[in-house]
């Protein structure tokens, strides 16, 4: 059985009988987990193992574990700072900022790999233009060069832990006020301005063979009247052909209002696949999931399959082995020298 294009959520700390049947559907390719799916590391490892054990190749299991506001698993996991704080360290000492970002990315990814997860959707490569509340401190920096450097460090840290990085939200969500969870934001800047600034961090990581990209539910009229997540001009013409990206393309969550203006769930799914997305997350809407499963028929894309299977996690390690390792202890101590008890400290 191949990996299908649909990534969905589940309701609790275990898979229900109904959910098991849905996860066996050939159009399903992944599961995204949330805080409600987590009780403690042993439970989470058992849940992920159960999901992986349903099929071959295993379903991809993902989470948003960026740090700061966006950290789904907290208790017993290392507290992760928001990305902006790495930018602040970088402004004082470039090498220290890069080193801290890489070590923190390694901690994040290694802890998730120790309970079996394949993916954390990170790093955020949006620039902090100072106008977006939904991005805000999730961005490393306002500058493209610093963001590219810190994004590179994050990718390398995740890679060292055996996890594929996912750059988001292409081509950049940081220059619009609106939150695409609740509306379709519109970025009216000229295309060349977006290319000169916002695309630069994405280009930097593409040259490092970034394995996956997540699209933005933002409209950029200079390129297309459709959101970038549903735009063949952005995904095929710009991302794949002009920038040479060969990894997997994730649509952002099709349940978000930024996608809803284009039609019902089936319409959104068709548009995303036609635009060139490989995987479509649909979160917190089981009716939407079922509509897509019933409407897509026998959809299959061999190239998507090839891109997606490359995202499975590597470097297996147990939770106990990780926490006993010198590498984890030293990386954790380095992070805690800057960020402890939820408070950030700059070295004087």
Which of 252, 253, 312, 338 is the catalytic position? 252
Q: Give the separation between CA 231 and CA 219, rounded to whole angstroms.
A: 9
Which H or E run includes 18? helix 17-23
Query: Which entry of 181, 182, 264, 316 is annotated as an active-site residue?
Result: 181
Contact 139, 126 (CB under 8 A): yes
Q: Which residues of 179-201 are buried (b: 16+ CB within 10 A; e: fewer)?
A: bbeebbbebebeeeebbebbbbb
The β-bridge relationship of strands 60-63 and 119-120 is parallel
Identify whether 197 is a catalytic site residue. no
Collect all residues with Cβ–Cβ distance below 8 Å to 277 and sequence separation of at least 6.
5, 215, 229, 235, 249, 250, 251
* Residue 338 appears among annotated catalytic residues: no
Q: Under a CB-based contact definition with an 8 Å cutoff, are residues 87 and 140 in contact?
A: yes
Both structure tokens of 143: 């500058």
Residue in 258, 254, 168, 183 with CA at minimum distance from that of residue 215: 168
DSSP string, 199-217: HHHHHHHHHTT--EEEE-S
Token representation of residue 169: 């939200």
Active site residues: 181, 252
């Amino acid at each position: 059985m191949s990996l299908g294009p649909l990534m969905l959520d589940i309701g609790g700390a275990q898979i229900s009988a109904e959910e098991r049947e849905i996860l066996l559907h050939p159009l399903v390719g992944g599961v995204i987990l949330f805080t409600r799916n987590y009780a403690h590391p042993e439970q989470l490892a058992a849940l992920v193992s159960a999901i992986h054990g349903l099929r071959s190749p295993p379903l991809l299991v993902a989470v948003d574990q960026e740090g700061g506001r966006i950290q789904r698993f907290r208790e017993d996991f290392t507290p992760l700072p928001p990305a902006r704080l790495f930018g602040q360290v970088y402004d004082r000492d470039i090498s220290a900022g890069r080193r801290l970002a890489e070590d923190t990315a390694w901690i994040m990814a290694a802890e998730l790999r120790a309970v079996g997860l394949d993916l954390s959707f990170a790093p955020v490569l949006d620039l902090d233009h100072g106008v977006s509340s939904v991005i805000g401190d999730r961005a490393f920096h306002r500058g493209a060069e610093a963001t590219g450097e810190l994004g590179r460090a994050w990718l390398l840290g995740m890679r060292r832990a055996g996890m594929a990085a996912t750059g988001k939200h292409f081509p950049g969500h940081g220059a619009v006020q609106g939150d695409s969870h609740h509306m379709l934001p519109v970025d009216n800047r000229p295309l060349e301005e977006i290319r000169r600034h916002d695309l630069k961090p994405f280009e930097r990581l593409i040259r490092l063979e970034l394995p996956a990209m997540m699209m933005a539910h933002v409209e950029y009229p200079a390129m297309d009247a459709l959101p970038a997540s549903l735009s063949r001009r952005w995904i095929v013409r710009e991302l794949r052909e002009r920038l040479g990206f060969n990894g997997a393309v994730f649509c952002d969550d099709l349940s978000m209002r930024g996608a809803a203006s284009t039609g019902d769930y089936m319409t959104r799914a068709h548009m995303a696949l036609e635009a060139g997305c490989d995987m479509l997350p649909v979160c917190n809407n089981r009716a939407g999931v079922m509509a897509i499963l019933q409407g897509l028929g026998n959809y299959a894309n061999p190239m998507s399959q090839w891109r997606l299977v490359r995202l499975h996690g590597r470097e297996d390690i147990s939770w106990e082995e990780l926490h006993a390792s010198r590498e984890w202890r030293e990386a954790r101590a380095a992070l805690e020298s800057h960020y402890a008890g939820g408070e950030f400290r700059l070295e004087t």
